[in-house]
Amino acid sequence: MSHSANPSANSSVHPGSAYQLRCAPIPLVRIGLVGLGQRGLQTLRRYGDVEGAQICALASLTAEEVERGNALLAESGRPRVRTFVGEEAWREMCALHDLDVIYICTDWKSHARMAVEAMRCGKHAAVEVPAATTVDECRTLVRTAEATQRHCFMTENCCYDWFALATLHLRDTGFFGTITHCEGAYLHDWRELFSEGHESARTWYRQSCRHGGNPYPTHGIGPIAQLLRFHRGREMGTKTGDDAKAGDRMHHLVSMTGQADGPDSLLGHANHTLITTERGVTILLQFDGTTPRPYSRIQSVSGTAGFVQKYPLPTVHSGTLALMGEAAENHLLRSMTDHAARLWLEGKEKGVPNAMNYAMDQRFIHCLRHGLPLDIDVYDAAEWSCLSELSRRSALEGGARMDIPDFLHREE
């Protein structure tokens, strides 16, 4: 069942929107990096490999953290940079005139306000996942990107995973027929990170156990959203009808969270969220960070003509084709030809630690240097991140239906 014959009906992309936003090309992208924990330092290392980008300033809570950042820059032959230390010092960094991007790697709670301030200071924001934790924060991100005409790029690296990139190509060849159902997840046993004295006893892991819904939805929904072209292909005033190239959007969800157990009730809380789109595709999203369930993002796509799934083993089924494991992987890898996919293959060839991060970084900087719209825009950041609050509210109300806002279109 479809919720609307024409998903664009009665709504329009308004003037001043940040949809397909193009900004002036930036020959050398100068970055101020905030949050030098595990992910921030990893980002700093990765950017040593990105041509046309330079880390120019660092901000974090402690002098020790920024010094570690500067030491890593020096070790890799890059210049030491200006540093900003303390809870609010990142604001001074945002105000600098010689930065183009504020790259945010702090914990979830501060992402949205930092991204908003960065855009208000005329910078593009790059923000770790999730970009926001509430629907209100999502709206503020969107309205700020629109008002400032700055990019807000959520660094959802799973969208640059080889399997996700291959499914985009399969969709374009018609492999799936009509896509009917997708599954995504973040199943990652984080239990050891709760142990006392563990170096990475980070607050956001604990926060996620207390959440009550799916606090970390973007790894699961990101690749599905790109596959189904959420909010794309529906330009102002166009009637997309049943055009296979038309976009879609998430319409509503219901969510349930399983029971908790263990010391301090930190274990369990597995969340299952069922979403339906305007066109009637169903999506199952799962989150489980505290049971021995093996790592998986599932990544399955069911269509009337074809089926693929990444975990536990890559699988491709269509007509007489039935491949699994290495055979499926080789088959899919052969189909990867677009720019992001070529970058993933380049990263693999170079032997980088994580080719999806490599492809994401290279694509982000490539688009900024060429003044192109970004692969992940502020509407994606809002649509994917808002599932955190909505899944929680639904689960707390026993699986109540929650409508998912249309952040792109304003009702006329």
Q: Residues 313-332 vs ligand NAD: string with x where CB under 6 A?
A: --------------------
User: Total number of residues binding ligand NAD (CB under 6 A)?
Assistant: 23
The partner residues of 183 in beta bridges, in order of sequence, read: 284, 300
CA distance 274 to 259: 18
| 108 contributes a contact to ligand NAD by CB under 6 A | yes
Of these, 8, 157, 302, 385, which contacts ligand NAD (CB under 6 A)?
Answer: 157
Of these, 21, 33, 53, 59, which contacts ligand NAD (CB under 6 A)?
Answer: 59
**Angle, helix 326-333 to helix 162-173, in steps of 10 degrees:** 60
Which window, 102-110, 178-186, 372-380, 398-406, contacts ligand NAD (CB under 6 A)? 102-110
Of residues 47 and 108, the one with the C-beta less far from ligand NAD: 108
- Residue number with the smallest Cβ distance to ligand NAD: 37
- Using CB under 6 A as the binding rule, the residues of this chain from 183 to 202 that contact ligand NAD are 202
| 36 contributes a contact to ligand NAD by CB under 6 A | yes
What minimum distance in Å lies between the beta carbon of 14 and ligand NAD? 31
Of residues 106 and 300, the one with the C-beta less far from ligand NAD: 106
| 204 contributes a contact to ligand NAD by CB under 6 A | yes
Of residues 39 and 143, the one with the C-beta less far from ligand NAD: 39
Any idea which residue has 């006893």 for tokens? 201
- Using CB under 6 A as the binding rule, the residues of this chain from 65 to 84 that contact ligand NAD are 65
| 39 contributes a contact to ligand NAD by CB under 6 A | yes
Of residues 198 and 401, the one with the C-beta less far from ligand NAD: 198
Of these, 20, 22, 38, 400, which contacts ligand NAD (CB under 6 A)?
Answer: 38
Of residues 71 and 236, the one with the C-beta less far from ligand NAD: 71
Which window, 2-10, 34-42, 283-291, 392-400, contacts ligand NAD (CB under 6 A)? 34-42
Which window, 35-43, 145-153, 173-181, 260-268, contacts ligand NAD (CB under 6 A)? 35-43
What minimum distance in Å lies between the beta carbon of 253 and ligand NAD? 21
Which window, 47-55, 107-115, 277-285, 337-345, contacts ligand NAD (CB under 6 A)? 107-115
Which window, 22-30, 103-111, 189-197, 386-394, contacts ligand NAD (CB under 6 A)? 103-111
Of these, 6, 54, 110, 318, which contacts ligand NAD (CB under 6 A)?
Answer: 110
Contact call for residues 383 and 152 (beta carbons, < 8 A): no
Of residues 19 and 108, the one with the C-beta less far from ligand NAD: 108
Of these, 8, 17, 60, 391, which contacts ligand NAD (CB under 6 A)?
Answer: 60
Backbone φ and ψ for 81, nearest 5 degrees, come out as -130, 170
- Using CB under 6 A as the binding rule, the residues of this chain from 113 to 142 that contact ligand NAD are 128-129
What HEC string does the chain produce? CCCCCCCCCCEEECCCCCCCCCCCCCCCEEEEEECCCHHHHHHHHHHHHCCCEEEEEEEECCHHHHHHHHHHHHHCCCCCCEEEECCCCHHHHHHCCCCCEEEECCCHHHHHHHHHHHHHCCCEEEECCCCCCCHHHHHHHHHHHHHHCCCEEECCHHHHCHHHHHHHHHHHHCCCCCEEEEEEEEECCCHHHHCCCCCCCCHHHHHHHHCCCCCCCHHHHHHHHHHCCECCCCCCCCCCCCCCCCCECEEEEEEEECCEECHHHCEECCEEEEEEECCCCEEEEEEECCCCCCCECCCEEEECCCEEECCCCCEEEECCEEEECHHHHHHHHCCCCCHHHHHHHHHHHHCCCCHHHHHHHHHHHHHHHCCCCCCCCHHHHHHHHCHHHHHHHHHHCCCCCEECCCCCEEEC
The partner residues of 300 in beta bridges, in order of sequence, read: 183, 309
Contact residues: ligand NAD, CB under 6 A: 34-40, 59-61, 65, 87, 90, 105-108, 110, 128-129, 157, 202, 204
